[in-house]
Amino acid sequence: MLAIAALFLPFQLFADGKVFPPLALPAHVTIPDQRALIHFTNGTERLVIETRFTGSGTNFAWVVPLPGRPVIEEASTGLFPTLQHLFRPRFEHTVTRYYLGILALLGAGYLLLFVRPDSRLNWLDLAACALVGIAVGIGSDGPLLGLIPFSLLVCGVMLVRFVTSSVVALVVVVAVVVAVGVLLPGLAKARSGSMDASSGSDGIEILNRQVVGVFETTTIASRDPKALQIWLRGNGFAMSTNAAPVIESYVKDGWIFVAAKVWRDTAGEATSTPHPLSFTFATDKPVYPMRLTGVDNGSLSVELYVFGPGRAEARHFNVERCTEPSYPSAEESWSYWSPERPRIRHPLLRRWVNGAPVATKLSARLGPADMRDDIWLEWASFREKRSVVYSRLGAFTVALNWGAAMIVLGLLGVCVADRAGSRWPARLPKLLAGTAVSGLMLFGLIYLALPKTDVRLVKRPWADAMQNLLQLYFELQDSSTNQPTIVEARAFLNSPTNGISGSIRVNPWSGSRIREEDSPGNYSLRATSDGLKYIAHDAEGAEHSIGRVVPSSASIIPDCRINPAFLLTVVYRPNMRPDLGSVRSP
């Protein structure tokens, strides 16, 4: 009888019936000290490194040892934010609340087993009725709804205790439980319906000099480690004496050195993150150079995004994500969601890793001892993995599910062991207390053990991002009385007095201010022969040219490939341009 009644308990009562469930995104994006993209195929490695500089002064020097002579290219600043978004862990916020079903089952089970016609009302009767009522009230997000099953069950218990026979008692309790399971989902549904080379000095050979973005780079080969150190110091690269044995070992191995300088505008203590640099070179095994970084350095957090023939593994690194990425056409329309398999549509990322069958995200916190050797990558057979991070509410729910299950199992054990004993009533309080303590301890241990983070809940991030980027474009369009330059457009978009509200500037994917960057939810400006192009980037970093910025006109003709009906549905708001009805899409 209890098993039959359990089928009607409102386990599904607690689901969110909204059309657009909110997407859980990290409240704060943490940027590691170093991030790198590694693509390896046919004995060639592309190593893209982003690093951060902290300290006073306006210029910094950076030396990268590599096993082969590299081709150096500039990478865009949006490359790693795009990778970080595509390979983010799964955030568990809305967890099924099984503990509510367990509580309801516990209360209903007690009523079915122990409520008999004996002309007395036990306090445990009221507690069991309350458990069912609480479960229904919390699950339906309407505490007052829990009064309905509570009242019905209390009436049924009193009827059984004081009026009916034992056979009728079971029928009454089962009928009440069935009524609760059948009727209340409709109430909850009704309620919810109202509601993410040249030569240098002796022992030094200058292979190449070039300016790459904000970096001035010099590629050097050396047969003499002392001569190399003298050259580096003489050219403004301060080298610690502790670096001498590391440089000597690299020279002995025949490695090449890229010495790069970067300047910044201010001399404060702020942390700077210039655009990444890409190095392409020949090597038998993919490698991330680490020995020189570890000299006189404390611990560092490092993230590696590795594209190659298999699952990447490395000493000291954890595999956060391993997946088989897809490479859809870049001509597809705006991305409205984030699928489980990352889709590589960011133009630069697509060009550099196109066709790689497996992608792995590795992360580590490296201490000085861990950086005494370079990070050599090994290939393993593919095995899907995606890390799971819980919101505090999600972790609380999971821990409560297990704690409630522990209590139920304990009570079942008590029933089996002591049901026939004469001392059952005397032992009951101690046994109940022990079971409750065990459940609470398990709840606390699981909650503390689960990885947790603060999350933001965004209802439709793709729609918000599109609306914000189009609003920025229209505001910029209205401000232009002549053909604006990139400098003038940037000055307007970054001005706090351009009439755009603070909320319209929030990137729903990152939670930070919308900025000029080729990453999800941001925009790019590009000077062409046809004028200044305004480009929006969707959830996967793909480009969508919204249109040219021309002197303000009554009709705006964007050149993005967006369904016109969807465009008007998403963009039209009372505070938008009154002539949006003229927006057309070819």
Q: What is the pLDDT of residues 462-506, one digit of tens each?
A: 778 888 888 888 888 877 777 788 888 888 887 766 545 455 678
Most confident of 136-145, 295-304, 355-364, 423-432: 355-364
pTM score > 0.95 for this model?
no
With cut-offs at 50, 70 and 90, classify the pLDDT of residue 177. low
pLDDT over 60 at 203, yes or no: yes
* Residue 507 · residue 523 · CB < 8 Å: no
* Structure confidence at residue 382 as a pLDDT band (50, 70, 90): very high
- For the segment 67-85, the average pLDDT, to the nearest whole number, is 94
Reference 320, options 81, 581, 575, 84; nearest CA is 84
- How many degrees, rounded to 5, is the angle at CA 242 between CA 237 and CA 248? 80
9-23 tens-digit pLDDT: 333 333 332 344 667
- 555: its two tokens: 């009709």
* Confidence at residue 568, expressed as pLDDT on a 0 to 100 scale: 41
For 572, how many CA atoms within 13 A lie in the half-sphere containing its CB? Answer: 12
What's the pLDDT score for residue 563? Answer: 44
At 478, list the tokens.
Answer: 């209205």
Q: Residue 314, Cβ neighbours under 10 Å: how many?
A: 21
Tens-place pLDDT, residues 61-75: 788 999 999 999 999
pLDDT band at 284 (very low <50, low <70, confident <90, very high): very high
Say what percent of the chain tops pLDDT 90: 25
Residue ranges of the domains in the chain? 29-91+198-327+338-388, 460-582
**Four-point Cα dihedral 162, 168, 173, 176, nearest 10:** -110
Reference 130, options 114, 115, 145, 149; nearest CA is: 149
Closest CA to 141 of 176, 177, 192, 94: 192
Q: How far apart are CA 359 and CA 303, in angstroms?
A: 13
211: phi > 0 → left, psi -120 to 50 → alpha, else beta; which? beta
Partner residues linked to 51 by β-bridges:
34
Mean pLDDT of the chain: 76
At 279, is the pLDDT very low, low, confident or very high (cuts 50, 70, 90)? very high
Q: Using an 8 Å Cβ cutoff, are 519 and 537 in contact?
A: yes
Is the four-CA dihedral 529, 534, 536, 541 of positive or negative sign? positive
220 pLDDT more than 50: yes
DSSP state of 14: G
Domain range 29-91+198-327+338-388, CATH architecture: Sandwich (2.60)
Cβ–Cβ < 8 Å for 343, 388: no
User: What residues contact 419, with CB distance under 8 A and at least 6 apart?
Assistant: none
Q: Mapping DSSP to helix (H, G, I), strand (E, B) and coil, where does residue 548 land?
A: strand
Task: Provide the token pair at 207.
Answer: 């292979």
Dist. CA 114–CA 117, nearest whole Å: 10
User: Alpha-carbon distance 577 to 567, whole Å?
Assistant: 14
Rounded Cα distance between 108 and 127, Å, is: 11
- Give the integer Cα–Cα distance in Å for 144 and 351: 58
Residue 15, phi then psi, degrees to nearest 5: -75, 150
Tens digit of pLDDT for each residue in 411-432? 766 666 555 554 555 666 676 6
Supply φ then ψ for residue 41, to 5 degrees: -160, 135
- Say whether pLDDT at 539 is over 80: yes
> What is the predicted pLDDT for the residue at 5?
35
Q: Quote the pLDDT of residue 577.
A: 39
Q: How many CB atoms lie within 10 A of CB 485?
A: 13
Q: What is the DSSP string of 120-164?
A: ---HHHHHHHHHHHHHHHHHTT-GGGGHHHHHHHHHHHHHHHHTS
Phi, psi of 131 (to 5 degrees): -60, -45
Give the residue-averaged pLDDT of 221-226. Answer: 88
Lowest-confidence segment of 154-158, 209-213, 361-365 by average pLDDT: 154-158
Helices of type H across 217-324 = 225-234, 244-252
Could you tell me the pLDDT band of residue 4, with boundaries at 50, 70 and 90?
very low
Rg of the chain over Cα atoms, rounded to whole angstroms, equals 32
Mean pLDDT over residues 241-261, rounded?
89
**Mean pLDDT across the stretch 312-317?**
94
Among all chains, which residue has been given the structure tokens 């200058």? 206
342: which DSSP letter?
P
CB 264 within 8 A of CB 272: yes
Partners of 257 in the beta sheet? 65, 220
- Report DSSP letters for 56-91, one per residue: SSSEEEEEEEESSPPEEEE--TTHHHHHHHHTPPEE
Residue 300 has pLDDT above 80, yes or no: yes
With 0-12 / 13-18 / 19 or more C-beta atoms within 10 angstroms meaning exposed / middle / buried, residue 297 is middle
How crowded is residue 417: how many other Cβ atoms within 10 Å of its Cβ? 12
DSSP state for residue 326 in the 8-state scheme: B
Reading the block at residue 140, the tokens are 């339906």
Query: Are 352 and 39 in contact, with CB atoms under 8 Å apart?
Result: yes
- The pLDDT assigned to 329 comes to 75
Most confident of 237-246, 266-275, 374-383: 374-383
Task: For tokens 């046809």, name the residue.
Answer: 530
Angle formed by the axes of helices 225-234 and 244-252, to 10°? 120
C-beta neighbour count of 54 within 10 angstroms = 10
Helix spans in 140-224 (H): 147-162, 166-192
